[in-house]
Amino acid sequence: MLQEFITSTLPAAAPDLASGSDAERRPALIGAHPPGVAFGRRVLAVGPLAESSVDELVDLVAPKIRFCPDVGSPAPSSARSELQSEG
C-alpha cells in the first residue's frame, strides 16, 4: 500500500515530481521520510523521536522534505547550512 502510494499516487498528485532525470527518485525520497520517522519513533523508540510530539516532528521534518522535489538540483544554501550545522 505504501509502495503504491510512493510510486503511483504521489507522482500523479504532483506531476512536477514525475519529470526530469530524477523523476523516480523524488517521490521515493519524499515518501521515505514519514515511514522512517514513524519506524524510529514507534518501533525502535529512539529517544528524541519517541519523546517529541507529532507537531514538533512535523516542524523538524517538513523543511527537509521541502527541497526534495529538486533532487537533481543542489539544495538551497540555507538548507545545506542547516543540515551541516545539525550533523
Instruction: Please write the tens of the pLDDT for every residue from 7-65.
Output: 777 666 666 666 677 777 777 777 788 888 999 999 999 999 999 999 999 888 888 77
Q: Give the residue, 62 or 80, on which the prediction is more confident.
A: 62
Cβ within 8 Å of residue 2, ≥6 positions away: 31, 35
Position 71 confidence tier, pLDDT thresholds 50, 70, 90: very low
pLDDT at 51: 95
The pLDDT confidence band at residue 84, using thresholds 50, 70 and 90, is low
Asked if the model's pLDDT at residue 6 lies above 80, the reply is: no
- The number of distinct structural domains making up the chain is 1
User: Which residue range is the domain that position 59 belongs to?
Assistant: 2-86
